[in-house]
A and B are shown apart, each in its own frame.
Chain A
Amino acid sequence: MVFSSLIFVLKFLPIALFLMWITPKSYKNAMLLLLSLVFYTWGEVRYVIIMFVSIAIDYTCSNGIENHRDDPKKTKMYLLLSVFGNLSILFFFKYTDFAITLINGAFHTQIPLLNLTLPLGISFYTFQTMSYTIDVYRGHLKADRNLIDFGAFVCLFPQLIAGPIVTYGQIAKELKKRVITLDKFSEGVRIFIVGLSSKLLLANSIGLLWDDVLTLGPTRISTPLAWLGLVAFGFQIYFDFSGYSLMAIGMGKMLGFEFPDNFNYPYISLSMTEFWKRWHMTLGSWFREYVYIPLGGNRKGLARQIFNLLIVWFLTGLWHGASINFILWGIYFFVLLASEKLFLLKTLAQHKVIARAYFIIGILVGWSIFAITDLHVLSLYISRLFVFKSGIDWIYFTSNYGVILLACGLFSTPFIAKIKDIKLVAPVLKLSTALLFIISIAYLVDSTYNPFLYFRF
């Protein structure tokens, strides 16, 4: 089930909230687990097995570590079992076909593809359960003895399929005891509606512009339209993904959980270093905590640090999708981030205008690598960006999407957050939130266009 569907917002959510409300305290986690399993298995009954396997592995491993604290051999074995188990599941479902394609290409073999559908949210929950066992191993956490509580953490439906990536430590307290106040619930409702309308009204609408540009292809479009298309894609992916995260955070609050923020106005950044502190923050901290720092981080000299960065960005790229272009996308950020670390950041800090231009061009070129899977098309697209071709096609797209582009631009900045406490603005914002929800329902009903970009990550 996806959040931005009629069945979720107007059927599943009301039922879930009602059932959670009437369930007695001691059974709330069992009910949450049950609801999460219904949510997860909706349309993909078979894949629930993987979820159970994942729960079983990490429940066993974490408790194994807990029970053999004095035996470093055994604890290490349990840790390796968990990491190996989770990564195998992820690799098998997400990367097998990619690996087969590479092998077939390199050795001219004809190994058939598996053509597996990627289980929902697998990139997210394998990371979450793996980090849990690592944290238990490190002694940061005590293993959860309660299988239902642990299961509820793994399957927790608000953040199951698209993040934010929540580590066990962040919600351990709430998993055992949570208090829902009307204030907190209201805040959750507000955040949920903002997320839902980001996805439906902004991301989906502006996504149509990018779809048209991609349909026309790089050879038919003018250079201004090529740039405009990337602006549209940048807005689409931002409001899509941050919208999903906000819906998750909002529903978390309605249920009494505090999930970490995932986005913090990434497009106002003045460098890539800043961008990655504002974009998909829970993924960034996951890689820092469980890959970069274990590799030695910046403590083993500059050369080693650059190498560690390369590893992290190669993996970050690969995590986003099983395709060459995602690896290139990761490497692209590695190059920019490493250059910033070595010399660029100082220059950028002194020249704000240059920094902004550098950031905008850099991020848009980055999105072209992310969005275009076919490397031939990608190279044509990038040459269209930099080899000028005139045309009037952009006039149509700026006029048809003008209002939406402006709205996307405005909501990418902290403008609303800045004015929300002004006396007269607050009631207006409340009313707008209610209106946005009604408008969102209209768009849900008329959802001829409702693809979700992070669905299959």
Chain B
Amino acid sequence: MKNITSKAFIALLAVLFISDNLDPHRAFSEYEKRVLASIPKWDLDALIDGSLTLDLESAINDQFIGRDLWIQLKAKLESSLGKVENNGILLGKQGVLFEKRLTLNPQALDNVKYIKEFLEMVSDLKVTTVLVPNKEAINPEHLPTGFPMLDQLELLNEWKKNISLLDISDELKAQSSQDLYYKTDHHWTLKGAYVAYETLMKAWGYEVKSFESFSPYTVEGFLGTYYNRSRFDFIKAESLAIINPDIISYETDGKTYTSLINTEALKGNDPYGTFLYGNHGYGHIVVKNVVSPRRLLVIKDSYANSLIPMMTSAFDEIDVIDLRQYNGSLQALLKQQTYDQILLLQSFNQFSDEINEAKLRY
């Protein structure tokens, strides 16, 4: 048993070295949901500028034998050390997951400017702007004790001095015990979206339908984006509530549907994508054929996807624009079409990171 450490060390190095070289190449990682780097081709220029060795290193890392198991081992060790943070996700109280945000993305300040310019350009139209606070602002009691999370409400109050915002944080706060946000995902729940619906209807002077009258139903087994990033394997799945109102048609990306709900998506990796068939640059919803129709334009991120089905209670036609995929001219659209209401709705965190906000002005 003498010198057992060095014998084991040499044996382990040899076994890993040989088995890794025999291990077949993997193009895609199901576990990490991304394409893995592969061994680069020989290229003298790439060697000299250093990119060849860099690519080779990432390939060796990505292709390393048992990669998923090693990563799981690390995640297990981290949580056994009492850490409540992994890959930028915080484990809060009662199993609520948060995205770790210590500071404001500087992009947000540019985006505030873009909204201000947009609002000045369309000052003759009825535009309502909502930046939805995320769960850390509405349910801070679920954050780990003492975590210095970025204060969204303070920033919203500051921005309100500069741009006209419909602030729905008080309304959300008043209902905050009602699970307005998913525990394992970055989105709000249908109940969260309903708070926004109620506030908007009141602001616009339209009739408010009750939550139950939308006949919501739930599906079980929802594990959201924060779960996938954190790899906290002890987190339990939650339920996802859906409403499926009657519509005549929903046209987007060259396809026409007769429903706003894609039940197929519930089986896949992104169950929230059930609403509006996910995110698309432009969508056109026809709710009913009436004589004097009421029309709505929503400029949005994915938060609005679960809100828009409720909007069918008050509008007959709804146009939906997602700046991330929309490549047309918004200003031209606004000149051609007339809308009774225009709603710009984004969640705080997605808004802060949004690199397409400038498209508002084109």
- List chain A positions with a Cβ less than 8 A from chain B: 5-7, 10-11, 13-15, 17, 42-46, 182-183, 185-186, 188-190, 193, 208, 212, 215-217, 220-221, 391-397, 399-404, 430, 433-434, 437-439, 441-443, 445-448
Contacts and interface: CB of A to CB of B under 8 A. Distances in A.
Given A11-B60, A392-B146, 10 more contacts: A17-B13, A43-B54, A44-B50, A185-B3, A186-B3, A188-B6, A399-B146, A400-B82, A442-B71, A447-B61
Contacts of A400: 82-85, 144
B6 A6 contact: no
Contacts of A14: 13-14, 17
A190 B9 CA distance: 9
A186 B6 contact: yes
A162 to B, nearest CB: 19
Interface residues of B, number: 43
A399 B81 CA distance: 10
A45 B52 CA distance: 11
Contacts of B85: 208, 400
A189 B13 CA distance: 12
A185 B6 contact: yes
Nearest to B148: A393
B215 interface: no
A182 B4 CA distance: 10
A10 B103 CA distance: 38
B146 A45 contact: no
Contacts of A394: 146
A399 B144 contact: yes
26 contacts: A5-B57, A10-B13, A11-B17, A14-B13, A14-B17, A17-B13, A43-B50, A45-B47, A45-B50, A185-B3, A186-B6, A391-B146, A392-B145, A392-B146, A399-B84, A399-B144, A400-B144, A401-B83, A403-B82, A433-B5, A434-B8, A443-B74, A445-B61, A445-B74, A446-B70, A448-B87
Among the interface residues B13, B48, B67, which one has the most CB atoms of the partner chain A within 10 A?
B13
Given A5-B57, A183-B3, A430-B4, A437 B12 contact: yes
A193 B8 CA distance: 12
Contact of A402 (B20, B57, B70, B82): B82
Instruction: From A44, A395, A400, name the one whose CB has the most chain B CB atoms within 10 angstroms.
Output: A400
B147 interface: yes
A183 B4 CA distance: 10
Given A212-B102, A395-B146, A190 B13 contact: no
B22 interface: no
Nearest to A404: B81
B57 A221 contact: no
A69 to B, nearest CB: 43
Interface string B204-237: 0000000000000000000000000000000000
Contacts of B81: 403-404
Interface in B10-46: 10, 12-14, 16-17, 20
A402 B82 CA distance: 8
B77 interface: yes
B53 A6 contact: no
Contacts of A43: 50, 53-54
Contacts of B8: 434
Contacts of A445: 61, 64, 67, 70-71, 74
Contacts of A11: 17, 60
B174 interface: no
A15 B10 CA distance: 11
B61 A216 contact: no
Contacts of B77: 439, 442
A396 B20 contact: no
Contact of A393 (B5, B20, B87, B146): B146
A396 B144 contact: yes
A411 B163 CA distance: 54
A182 B87 CA distance: 41
Given A6-B61, A212-B102, A399 B145 contact: yes
A46 B53 CA distance: 13
Contacts of B333: none
Contacts of A220: 148
B74 A442 contact: yes
Report the 6 A-B pairs with minimum CB-CB distance, sorted nearest first: A395-B146, A396-B146, A445-B70, A186-B6, A392-B146, A446-B74
Contacts of B82: 399-400, 402-403
Interface in B55-105: 56-57, 60-61, 64, 67, 70-71, 73-75, 77, 81-85, 87, 102-103
Contacts of A391: 146
Contact of B71 (A221, A439, A446): A446
B70 A441 contact: yes
B70 A442 contact: yes
A202 B358 CA distance: 43
B6 to A, nearest CB: 4
A41 B53 CA distance: 10
A216 B148 contact: yes
Interface centre among B81, B84, B145 (most CB of A within 10 A): B81
A439 to B, nearest CB: 6
Given A45-B47, A182-B6, A6 B144 contact: no
Nearest to A188: B6
A400 to B, nearest CB: 6
A188 B9 CA distance: 11
Interface centre among B48, B70, B148 (most CB of A within 10 A): B148
A448 B58 CA distance: 11
B5 A189 contact: yes
Contacts of B61: 6-7, 445, 447
